[in-house]
Amino acid sequence: MLNTFKHEDLDEDILSDLLEEINELYEASEQTLIELELKPEDKELQRALFRSVHTIKGDLGLVSFTPLIPVLQHAEDLLDYLRKGQINYTSNMSDLVLLTMDRVKLFVQSCMTNGYAEYDEKLFAQLVKQITRITPDNVDQHEKLLAEAVLLLDPSLDLHQGDSTAVVNEVVAAPAVSMATTGIPKSISNEKRTDIVFFRELMKPIEKRSMYWEGRGDRIAKLAAYINKVAGSPIDEDQLAVACYMHDFGMAFMPIEVLHKQGQLNDQEFNLMRSHVYKSARLLEHLNQWNEARKIVMQHHERIDGSGYPLGIKEQDICDGAMLLAILDTFDAITHARAHENHLQRPKKKAVIEINRIAKGQFSNKWMQAFNSGMAALLTK
């Protein structure tokens, strides 16, 4: 049974300013968490995340939105352990922070719209108790405890429940492969490293053209390197890294109103969007050392049933790098795209389930098995 919270009569402008600040802090925290995936030990990033949660808690206290304050206080305590070096950052911690902020946003939005908000007092008490169990003295239990806390906020993320059975049945034990802290391969010549760093830096201002893209190249390149290793490294890691950074270069030349359009694209707009693969591949056209990367970029929107673009080729003619990038491009869009104001980030486990639902005819079965295996190892420890 849900409880109902009715706030005291507050000026609408105060509530509007509160929600605006929470939205800004949410976006800032999301970007901080992306950076922490790349630099999990960065103290300034850890402090920034702590400050965001602390500020939100303080704002809610000023307007006496009391039901959420205990949850935020314990999330703040957890991040205090992190910034003091007493516990380590993990992806489950990221999901917990974002899901908690989602609850805060929806709570404040409901108060603005309806004059009240419903909440589950029992759930919040369970969540507080679960977070309290995470201490510097039980590091070996942190992933399990964090995962359980995340599931309290969104039970659909459990890969071992309900309609995710098909995903689990496909998963085989992933080899002992660790996630790199950057998408740039370590064992690489200075010449190639210079090229990849250049491509990465070239994409940064392009990613900033849309608030939905920032950090996208690093996220996809890092995950691609990991899944490739899980599969036994059949793809040249240098070529794969370049393709991950450069595959959406052509999007820089799309009208922003088309990129952010909420409705269905018309034929002209869709054809314009499809042209981005040519523009992206063309940048690599005269760099012979990156021919394979160019091929990956050119084919990453092809589908194994031949319904993709630009050439409509089928699985046997699509290179491994393109088949892997197609999966990870979709995964990143599901977990980080913010095409609509009410689109909440889907945490990673739920995204894995969604991708498996749409995989038939679109994604390679071989690479879906590698993806499922790798993600199970990362997210269900």
Last residue of a domain, one of 120, 153, 186: 153
Please name the residue ranges forming H helices in 133-215.
142-153, 165-170, 190-207
- The per-residue pLDDT for 122 is 93
- The per-residue pLDDT for 159 is 45
* Residue 227 shares a structural domain with residue 148: no
- The per-residue pLDDT for 265 is 81
Q: Dihedral, CA atoms, 57, 48, 352, 197, nearest 10 degrees?
A: 160
Which uninterrupted H or E stretch holds 116? strand 116-119
Q: Give CA angle at 89 (82, 25), nearest 5°.
A: 75
- The per-residue pLDDT for 38 is 61
Residue 130: CATH number of its domain: 1.20.120.160
Which uninterrupted H or E stretch holds 99? helix 91-114
Determine, yes or no, domain membership for 159. Answer: no
Overall number of domains in the chain: 2
The residue count for the chain? 381
* Residue 230 shares a structural domain with residue 353: yes
- The per-residue pLDDT for 156 is 56
* Residue 51 shares a structural domain with residue 170: no
Determine, yes or no, domain membership for 217. Answer: yes
* Residue 288 shares a structural domain with residue 331: yes
Residue 308: CATH number of its domain: 1.10.3210.10
- Tell me if the pTM is above 0.75: no
Determine, yes or no, domain membership for 161. Answer: no
Determine, yes or no, domain membership for 103. Answer: yes
* Residue 122 shares a structural domain with residue 205: no
* Residue 199 shares a structural domain with residue 88: no
6: β partners? 116
Last residue of a domain, one of 106, 131, 153: 153
* Residue 317 shares a structural domain with residue 294: yes
* Residue 130 shares a structural domain with residue 256: no
* Residue 225 shares a structural domain with residue 296: yes
* Residue 233 shares a structural domain with residue 90: no
Of 328, 311, 312, the C-alpha closest to 363 is 328
Determine, yes or no, domain membership for 160. Answer: no
Q: How far apart (Å, rounded) are the C-alpha atoms in residues 72 and 54?
A: 8
Last residue of a domain, one of 153, 178, 198: 153
* Residue 268 shares a structural domain with residue 298: yes
Determine, yes or no, domain membership for 158. Answer: no
Q: How far apart (Å, rounded) are the C-alpha atoms in residues 308 and 204?
A: 28
Its domain, for residue 92, covers 3-153
Q: Spell out, as residue ranges, where the chain has pLDDT lower than 70.
A: 34, 37-38, 156-182, 210-212, 337-347, 380-381
* Residue 190 shares a structural domain with residue 138: no
